[in-house]
Structure 1
Amino acid sequence: MKEKTNLKELFNQYLTGKASEGELLHLLDFFKLEEDSALLRALILAELEKEETLETTEEQQAILNRVSSVLAHGIRNEKVRLRKLYIRWSAAAAVVIIAGFWIGLERIQEGAGIFSSTRKEIIAPGQDKAILELEDGRIINLDSSIGPDAKNSYVFADTSGMMTFSSQDLPATDTKSAERTLRTPKGGQFAVLLSDGTKVWLNAESSISFPAIFAQRTRDVSITGEVYFEVTKNPTKPFLVHARQQTVKVLGTHFNINAYPENDAVQTSLLEGSVAVIAGGKQVQLLPGQMSVWQENQGGLQVGRIPDPENLLSWKEGMFCFDNNNIAEIMQVLARWYDIEFSFEKGDYSNCVFDAMIPKKKSIQEVLNILGASQQLEFKINGRKVIVSQAKSNRN
């Protein structure tokens, strides 16, 4: 076993930009031993809590760029799985955690055999943008190109940097029938601060309809897609969220609703407080850490535990979190964020299941490199369409 003090010193050498190429590879080699990899992960996770900007040499940066694109493949229970990958970029540095896997140098090749493209166009990730439809029918495009007057009056960046529309700072034109709708397109995300102080985050291809000024007895909104709420407490005025055939009733709490139309179920996950979920003539009370699943035609309204609360809001924090997800589910997520289409060539993809955490700021090519590192799948990009196929070595 290697001395833990040596591992810590080596890690500090890397963080201060003093590690040579050999030392960097030696650092990665510690992942071979479980007792040392646990300490290494702890050191890295502790460093990720800091906001310091690290510096690396160009040589180290090139190595990290290659390493971050490729994972070693593993097979467990006859399912193809990638161990969790965490990548955190500062201005000039990256830390890569690969739990339990050693990446052989002979396999560190940028995109070799993973995907091909008929065009050299880089498909960029989504960004903060939305379409706001006002109560009088006016349409306002909210994105990075919006004028300075809007940014100074009703659009601002929140503490995480996400662009936010402040409904309370844009007066209603007709308070009697003043309902507004904020929609994020494919490749877009946005947040909105409602008139009562409630904060709402919208994932890609989602929407929320809400009044400019809430009624006297209730606070009603309607949503599609995936939306996260931090509701301002008001015991005398319940907050009601309508999603498909489901209603969530709260007084003040933090929760996430996933109601994309292509999904069979509506999932409501509670992080803080208490909510009542009403659907199909049934009402259930959720406690923190619980989630409800509403399926109109299969099982009705059910309650269970949130599988991984920390991963639930990864989309809001700028990460893709795939937790035992099939490649078909993953491609749906990527299609919404990168505004692409996808298709599968003939084959059985039921056992292509992945665990991975990847920054949403990466290009689609980089994400496909990571997924393709399992050597089970190949990807072809044709314009804005991605064709998924089984790797030649796995075809019958």
Structure 2
Amino acid sequence: METSRLGYLFNKYIQHQCSASEEEELMALIADQENEQVVKDLVDKVINNTENEIEMPDGRSSEVLKNILQHTDPGVIQMNKRNLLRIFRGRGVAAAIFVLFIAGFAYWKQQHRNQISSEVVVNRVVDSASVISPGRDVAILTMADGSEILLDSTGSQVLAVENGVKIKKDGGALVYSLENNTKDSKSLSNTLTTPRGGQFQISLPDGSRVWLNAASTLRYPVVFSGKYRDVELSGEAYFEVVSNRQKPFRVKAGESRVEVLGTHFNVNAYPDEAAIETSLLEGKVKVEKGSRSEILLPGQQAVLPASSKEIKKLYADVESVVAWKNGIFQFDGDDIAGIMRQIGRWYDVEVILPDYLPVRHFEGKISRRAGLAEVLHILELSGVEFKVDGKKIMVR
């Protein structure tokens, strides 16, 4: 009678149908050493009946058991660890472990089914996004006369000569070089624009190098004449400026201006971001906004909120700041809205955010060479859901 009652309660338990009093009764029956073989048989039966459905990976049984022992309420299984300890004190501990194992196995099965269900959703997103490729080396050069030249990463050729300055495309880079008879070209400017889904490099007439991120624009003179080397930026760029103490290099970005002599720094000045950020890797820069200014040293960052005139000076993880230049998305506590703005620019997609997003922060690295489907898949595994419709991504 007791054996059949044990089997009855055991089957109810693994189906999550036991009441609290039945659970207590089951634990007491299992604790009886006389029933240990019956418990083993019941466990073997359940495992044999389910092993063709789902094979538990090597080492997972001990992992699941550890999880059950460490958590009072792991979700699918509802056990009171204190009650278990009271019941099994000095009695059939082996039997208790068997029950914990099968409970853990049931829990693992449920989690596995949830994972399969989640993967089905992810795969749908992956299929929808699989046709969207990552960004590439592409830009538009606007000459002083207003004519436009489409640039990509293929081949090398001289594009033009303006006032003694040779303009050449060399793979995924634009190179300006001064000729002997350079005229005063103060009024002549060129503009390099990267579209959403594009990036490009440029070597300016003074030899300074600039990496332009997606959806960005750099305006600069064909020749740096006068007291300063002035350029204008919208979007994001990384600068490696050639030193010239007699002619400081200045970057105007929105309401801010960065002045340097020779240094390496990054400026993020996208119009849809809440602030303009200047981060210094080498040298020294002065950041100005209105009548205020701050001097940055390597590893420091100036944050200029659009909503105020202040300049906040912080310490920054410069590796993270310039990760985009090195072909990586790097997230260090970023929220999903900020991440999706980056993804929207690089993959040239429209991102639609809900009115309310829970506050969650993400950390990790993803290659910018990865397809959109792979990036969304990784974010899905972190608990974010997407719906992809053509080139629209809806965050849910």
> TM-score per shorter chain, which class?
0.5 to 0.7
* Structure 1 residues 120 and 129: alpha-carbon distance in aligned structure 2, compared to 1, 3 A threshold: closer
Q: Which has the larger radius of gyration?
A: 2
Q: Residue 75 of structure 1 corresponds to which residue in structure 2?
A: none
How many pairs does the alignment contain?
A: 283
Choose from 192, 200, 211 the match for 1:201.
211
Q: 1:372: which partner in 2?
A: 380
2:137 aligned to which of 128, 135, 138: 128
Identical pairs, percent: 39
* Aligned mate of 2:392, from 382, 385, 389: 385
Q: Distance in 2 between the 1:196 and 1:108 partners?
A: 57
1:167-186 equivalent positions in 2, closer than 5 A: 167-168=176-177, 175-186=185-196
- Greater shift after overlay, 231-240 or 351-360? 351-360
Q: Cα distance, 1:262 vs. partner?
A: 0.8
1:179 to 1:108, Cα distance in 2 relative to 1, 3 A? farther
Quick one: distance in 1 between partners of 2:267 and 2:375?
Answer: 25
Q: Secondary structure at the match of 1:300?
A: coil
1:328 maps to 2:337: yes
Q: Which amino acid aligns with 2:279?
A: S
Deviation of 1:261 (Å): 0.3
1:90-145 deviation per Cα after TM superposition (whole angstroms, max 9, x unaligned): xxxxxxxxxxxxxx998599953226358576100000000000112121100145
CA-based RMSD: 3.1
Which letter maps to 1:202? L
Query: Equivalents in 2 of 1:131, 1:249: separation in Å?
Result: 26
Shift of residue 219 of structure 1? 0.5
- Give the aligned residue type for 2:256: Q
Which structure shows the higher helix fraction?
2
Give the direction of change, closer, same or farther, for the CA distance of 1:113–1:240 in structure 2 (3 Å limit).
same
State the shift of 1:284 in Å. 1.1
Distance verdict in 2 for CA 1:246–1:324, change over 3 Å: same
Distance 1:387 1:244, change over 3 A: same
- Structural mapping, 1:245-324, within 5 Å: 245-298=255-308, 300-306=310-316, 308-324=317-333
> TM-score scaled to structure 1, two decimals?
0.65
Give unpaired runs (5+ residues) of structure 2.
Answer: 1-56, 64-110, 161-165
Counterpart secondary structure, 1:368: helix
Matched residue, 1:154: 168
Change (3 A) 1:122 1:305: same
Is structure 2 residue 239 aligned with structure 1 residue 229?
yes
Summarize the alignment of residues 25-44 of structure 1 with structure 2, pairs less than 5 Å apart: none
Amino acid at match of 1:155: K
* Equivalent of 2:224 in 214, 233, 253: 214
CA shift in 2, pair 1:285/1:176, >3 Å: closer
In structure 1, runs of 5+ residues without a counterpart are 1-24, 33-103, 158-162, 390-396
| Stretches of 4+ aligned residues off by more than 6 angstroms | 169-174
Cα 1:115/1:282, change in 2 over 3 Å: farther
Query: Aligned pair in 2 of structure 1 residues 108, 202: CA closer, same or farther (>3 Å)?
Result: farther
Question: After superposition, what is the alpha-carbon deviation per residue over 1:160-211, rounded to whole angstroms, capped at 9, x for unaligned?
Answer: xxx1100227998982421000010000000100000000010000111111
User: TM-score normalised to the size of structure 2?
Assistant: 0.65
Match 2:349 to one of 315, 326, 340 = 340
